[in-house]
Amino acid sequence: MLRRLLVFIPLLIFVTVSVFLWRGLQLDPTELPSALIGKPVPAFSLSSVFDENAQLTQEQLKGKPALLNVWATWCPTCKQEHEQLNRIARNEGVTIYGINYKDDRAKAQEWLTRYENPYVLNIYDDKGLLGLDLGVYGAPETYILDKDGIIRYRHVGEVNEKVWDTLRRRMQDLEGSGS
């Protein structure tokens, strides 16, 4: 009897491996968890896109839950998601901070004037130093910050309607829990 059952072992192994491989197909390997989840935004002191003499620091990102969006004029996907960010800021009153990543000041200014400026603050990170500390590996990236400036979530890639639904739910959770 036992010997009969042993015959099914290869089938069992096959099914197990198939399940794992099938799961593997659904995973997106480019989606990396941020190493900074639950940690504060790294310390920085950078100028503003519009004002060379302004000094922006991580302290200014505190106050209420917000989005932190990393973008650049050389990044085509940033152009795609810009309209969505405008809508979020305009219609839903969400605070969005922008990091202009490894870009040119004049180009960034022109972009923000031409396509509207959804950002409350425009951090000018031309050397990509803040980007490096944040673990940015490709623009656009969008982080959710809570009111203490702690990173709660990271999304790599375009913020479209579907992604924004997820982000909005997470931000509502933050406000709901009173943190």
Partner 1 sequence: MRHLLIVLLLWLPLTAQAAIDSFEFSDEATRERFYSLTAELRCPKCQNQNIADSNSPIAQDLRTEIHRMLQQGDSDKDIVDFMVARYGEFVLYRPRVTAQTLVLWYGPFGLLAVGAVVVLVMTRRRKKAPRPGISAGSESSQTEPVEPLSDAERHRLDKLLKQDEK
On whether the CB atoms of residues 140 and 78 are closer than 8 A, the answer is: yes
Return residues touching partner 1 (CB under 8 A): 29-30, 32-36, 102, 128, 132-138
CB of 156 vs partner 1, minimal distance in Å: 10
Provide the total of helices (H) and of strands (E) in the chain, helices listed first: 6, 7
Return the number of the residue (35 or 43) whose C-beta is nearest partner 1: 35
Give residue for tokens 């870009």.
103
Of 68 and 88, the one with the shorter C-beta distance to partner 1 is: 68
**Distances in whole angstroms, Cα of residue 68 to Cα of each of 10, 18, 100, 155, 167:** 51, 40, 11, 10, 12
- Considering the complex, state which of residue 29 and residue 178 has its C-beta at the smaller distance from partner 1: 29
Smallest distance, Å, CB 70 to partner 1?
12
Q: Please tell me whether residue 155 adopts helix, strand or coil conformation.
A: strand
* Sheet bearing 151-156, strands edge to edge: 121-125, 96-101, 66-71, 141-145, 151-156
Instruction: Compare residues 19 and 169 and give the one whose CB is closer to partner 1.
Output: 19
Query: Min. distance of Cβ 90 from partner 1 in angstroms?
Result: 32
Closest approach of Cβ 135 to partner 1, in Å?
4
